[in-house]
Structure formats: C-alpha cells, structure tokens
Amino acid sequence: MPRSDPQRRSWVDEAIRRVDADANRSADTHLHVFPLPGGPGIELYLKDESIHPTGSLKHRLARSLFLYALCNGWVGPGTTIVEASSGSTAISEAYFARLIGVPFVAVMPRSTSARKIALIEWYGGRCHFVDEAPDMYAEAARLARECGGHYMDQFTFAERATDWRGNNNIAESIFAQLEKERHPVPAWVVVSAGTGGTSATIGRYVRYRRHVTRVMVADPENSAFLDGWDLDTSDYTTGAASRIEGIGRPRVEPSFVGGVIDDMVRVPDAASIAAMRWCSRRLGRSVGGSTGTNMWGALTVIERMRAAGETGSVVTLLCDSGDRYVSTYYDDAWVAEHGLDLTPYEAVLAELEETGRFTG
Ligand SMILES: *Cc1c(COP(=O)(O)O)cnc(C)c1O
C-alpha cells in the first residue's frame, strides 16, 4: 500500500489510537519509599517499573518506539516488526505488536532461556535464532529488509523516541510524585544503562527543567559504558557480555548520551546480586538484578552525602521483578556456578544495617 494511501493513513490513525488508549487505561507506576538504615535526613525512593503490564521499564520504551515508528510512517498495515532482543524489550514489543495487529519477530541467541521464549510467544511473537549473540543485529536488519518489515533497533532509537521534555515520561512522573516530599527535588537520580535511553531521558529532563539534580549511572562488570564515558568516546568496546540482564553492553550504544551524566560507578556483579537480595528482603517485594546494581550505586551516593553532612532525596529504579530470576540470581547453586562470591558484599550490607554506614 503506497504511503499516501488514505486507507493506510486511517490504519495508522487507528494504531496510534490503540497505543494511546492502552496508556490511558494504565496507571502510573509507584514511587516507593525505601526503608534506609541510618539516621534521618536522606530519603531513598524506588520507582517501581515492574508493575507495567509487561513487567519492566521496557514497556515505556516499546510504547515510545511504536509511536515513533507509526508517526514516522515506517509501519503500516501488515508491516512485520523485527527486533534484536532476547529480553524484556522483545516481550514488551510483542505486546504492542499484538495490540496494533502486526506480526512481530524477535531475533535472539539460541541460548536464550525457554521461559523468555515462551513469554514472547505468549504475546504472539515469533522467535528467530542466531548462533552467536553479536550476529543478532545484522540478522534482524536482513530479516526486516527481506520481508519488507521494520527493524525497530532499540539501541539506536531509544534515545530519540522518548519525549524527554515531558509527556509523562519517567522523569516527569518521578518529579510529580516527589512534589509533596520533604525534599521534592532529588539530589541524585541513579540508574543503570542497557540502551542508555532511560539515563538520556532523565538527564535531559533535569537540565531542561533547570533542576539541581545530578544523574549517576551504575555500570556492571564487562560493560563498555563506564570506560567510554571516562574517555569521552563512543568508540570503546569490551567485547564481553554482561551477566546482569538488561544492562551493561560490550560497546557504547548509540542511545547512550554521556553528556547528561554527572558520574558513573562500577558495581561488581556479586555486589549487584547481594544488593538485589537485600533490597527484596527490606522492601518486601522481589526485585531483579539491575535493581541491585542501581541500589549499590544509590548507597554509594548516599554515603557520600552523609559524609559531607548533606541532606536530601535520592531516586533509583526498580527495573523489573525478581520473579524472572528465581532460577538464576536467586539460586545459590547458579551463583556459585558462575564463580560469584556474595559474602564480602553481604557483610557490607549487614554493617550498613548495624551502623548506618555504607563502606562498599
Ligand atoms: C533495559 C533495562 C535497563 C536499562 O534501561 P535503558 O533505558 O535501556 O538503559 C535496566 N534494567 C532492565 C531489567 C532492563 O531491561
């Protein structure tokens, strides 16, 4: 169907209406107060992105990517959507593809867990496998070309598909929810980076609104983001995969906007997992691995604030639920098999509970 066809235009109108109506039916995500050990003066909040219909912060990204593609005229009736993702992005995009009635194909490594494949298929998506993870991107582009489909390309478009000035993006929502708190403008927002889209949105928003808030990105082992940021280059690669699902990349992704990040911290994977388990126990709800990375980063800035005698609030993200990691990060045998020793980090968290000081 030619792009100017009125029937195509009315199909696009209807698809946008469905995506919009879905957002209108959805509630905003909670901002929990985290019970922080130690004296008063510093508050920590967790933005709970696990309660989106598809269970992670990728629900926001998928909605933005679909609206962006629809409004750019890239998607019409019957356009197959292709994405390179073995994780949360594929699950959320499969949901939106079904919502507007187009086919969805996720290109992923053959080693992807059966549980994730089942979830993508449950939403009506099809999984297409490659033998080596780095081949996903070229294969997704090839597949889209071949079937006249659209390669969504989260790592390129995450940064520009979101309205960073507002329109109920994650940053605007956090600031609105903090309005009646003791410190409504946070001193720090701590996030981690997969595409880099979330840190780009929050970083641009706080600058646009001229808030004093600073943005920290916590990066797991093997990720290229931190060294790329330190060296101020997007050319940096590690060539190694991250063990913390959803975050940490072997290369600096195009959606990672280093200029809006005030500080970065390296979090050992065992510290992420120890903090994930500690956070779940203390909060009374189960959180995923990247939330542990975020928590370790948040505790790092909070300790700096405490040492400097500062008061204020800190916000970090609960990116997805621990339900997805019962047989990995929550399983002691899996942790041991992967050569991870949580003991020193658990001791740091126990000391924090006792003394209110974080020595991580
Ligand atoms: C994608 C993802 C992140 C990071 O978000 P980006 O906006 O892509 O940088 C963190 N945690 C989980 C579980 C994710 O899936």
Contact 60, 162 (CB under 8 A): yes
Q: Is the CB of 223 under 6 A from ligand 1?
A: no
What is the per-residue pLDDT for 121? 96
Residue with tokens 């989260």: 154
pTM for this structure? 0.97
**How far is residue 49's CA from residue 4's CA, in Å, rounded to a whole number?**
38
Local mean pLDDT, 10-residue blocks, the chain (360 residues): 87 98 96 94 98 96 98 97 93 98 95 87 96 91 97 97 92 98 98 98 98 98 97 92 94 97 98 98 97 98 97 98 94 97 98 96
- CATH architecture under which domain 23-56+165-355 falls: 3-Layer(aba) Sandwich (3.40)
Q: How far is the CA of 9 from the centre of ligand 1 (A)?
A: 33
Contact 143, 49 (CB under 8 A): no
Residue with tokens 């959805």: 26
Q: Is the CB of 294 under 6 A from ligand 1?
A: no
What is the per-residue pLDDT for 201? 97
Tell the CATH topology of 58-158. Rossmann fold (3.40.50)
What is the per-residue pLDDT for 340? 98
Q: Is the CB of 193 under 6 A from ligand 1?
A: yes
What is the per-residue pLDDT for 167? 86
| Ligand 1 pocket: which of 46, 49, 51, 58 to mutate (most atoms within 8 A of CB) | 58
Could you tell me which residues come within 8 angstroms of residue 259 by beta carbon, excluding any fewer than 6 positions away? 203
Domain borders along the chain are 23-56+165-355, 58-158
What is the per-residue pLDDT for 136? 92
Cα Rg, the chain, nearest whole Å: 20
What is the per-residue pLDDT for 39? 81
Q: Is the CB of 86 under 6 A from ligand 1?
A: no
Q: Is the CB of 288 under 6 A from ligand 1?
A: yes
Which residue is closest in CA terms to ligand 1's atom 14? 246
- Two domains, one topology: 23-56+165-355 and 58-158: yes
What is the per-residue pLDDT for 335? 98
Which residue is closest in CA terms to ligand 1's atom 2? 246
